[in-house]
Amino acid sequence: MSTKLVTASLDDKLETVKEIFDNLKFHHLLVVEEHKLLGVVSDRDLLKALSPNVGSARESYQDLATLKKRVHQVMTRRPVVLQESATVDDAIHMFNTHGVSCLPIVDPDFKPVGIVTWRDILKNLRIHPTGTSGPTA
C-alpha cells in the first residue's frame, strides 16, 4: 500500500490531472472533498475524456477545450474501497471480484489513508522453492 497520496478535488480541471499524470509515476488520483473520498480518476479516464489531438500539430481550440473539463465529469464515483484492517487476501478478492485496478484504503470516516494497486500485490508476491507463492517479508 502506498500512503503517499496525491488527490484532486471535484472541480479541478483535467489540465491539472494531465499535468500530474505526465510528471509523476502513477495511474490513479483519489478525489477528495472535506477529507472524504468521493471518487477515483485514472489515467485511462483521462485518456477517454481528452481529445487525441491534444499536444499534436492538429490540436484545435475544441481539442484544448477538453482540458477544461472537471474531475467530477470523468471520475468513478463510489469506488470500491478497503478498510485499514483489510488483508492482502481481501485485496486480491476485491480485485478479482470487481475488476478494478486500484483500491483506496479508507479509515472508518471514509478518509483515504492509502491506495493499493494490483501491481503492489504482484511486487510483494514471490515464488517459494516449493512452488508456492506468498508475500515477501
3-state secondary structure 88-115: HHHHHHHHHHHCCCEEEEECCCCCEEEE
Q: Which CATH architecture has domain 7-135?
A: Roll (3.10)
pLDDT at 9 over 50: yes
Interatomic CA distance for residues 6 and 18, integer angstroms: 13
What digits encode the pLDDT tens for the residues 86-97?
999 999 999 999
- In this structure, are residues 92 and 82 in contact, taking their beta carbons and an 8 Å threshold? no
What digits encode the pLDDT tens for the residues 34-49?
999 999 999 999 999 8
pTM above 0.75, yes or no: yes
Q: Which of 52-56, 57-61, 64-68 has the highest mean pLDDT?
A: 64-68
* Domains of the chain by residue range: 7-135
CA–CA distance from 135 to each of 47, 87, 88, 90 (Å)? 33, 11, 9, 13
At 23, is the secondary structure helix, strand, or coil? helix
